[in-house]
Amino acid sequence: MLSAMDACLFCEIVSERRDRGAIAYQEEEVVVFPSREQRPMNQGHMLVVTRRHFRNLYDLPPALDAELLGCARRTARAVQQAFRASGTTIRQNNEPPGQDVFHVHVHVMPRHFNDGDLSAPYQTVDLATRVEQAQRLAGLMAR
Ligand SMILES: [Zn+2]
């Protein structure tokens, strides 16, 4: 029988069965990698994801709350520096219409003045670009 994990894009990335080299940072329970879809005005958009599969924030064990949020904060600081942003926006979606990958994740987006409407179209970012973005972030991720 197919489990949720077998079909999960983020489980495949976290385990490096897909998009090898794209992981920017990892610790025991959380992993950071660039989003496959990014807005041209917000390049360097990262996802903070749990290593284990949970559908969304509703299913996250409370014991992981601090690690997930703490990692989102460290990621935001590093994103701001790595991508020379003025600031960051953190977003998190649970169930449609907001959520489209059903493995809990937090979006960390670099923000620039005049970068427009965050709901404007996203574009697929090729793996080589995502690997380069991951490397830029990696050196700036302090625990
Ligand atoms: Zn998953």
For residue range 45-89, what is the model confidence (pLDDT) as tens digits?
Answer: 999 999 999 999 999 999 999 999 999 999 999 999 999 999 999
CA of 67 to the centre of ligand 1 (A): 17
Kindly report, residue by residue over 92-111, the tens digit of the pLDDT.
999 999 999 999 999 999 99
Kindly report, residue by residue over 2-55, the tens digit of the pLDDT.
565 568 999 999 999 999 999 999 999 999 999 999 999 999 999 999 999 999
Which residues fall within 8 angstroms of residue 53, CB to CB, at 6 or more apart?
4, 5, 8, 10, 11, 103
Q: Which domains, ranges and CATH numbers included, belong to the chain? A: 9-138 (3.30.428.10)
CA of 60 to the centre of ligand 1 (A): 12
Q: Report, as residue numbers or ranges, the catalytic residues.
A: 105
Looking only at Cα atoms, what is the longest distance across the chain?
A: 49
Half-sphere exposure of 44 (CA within 13 A, CB side): 25
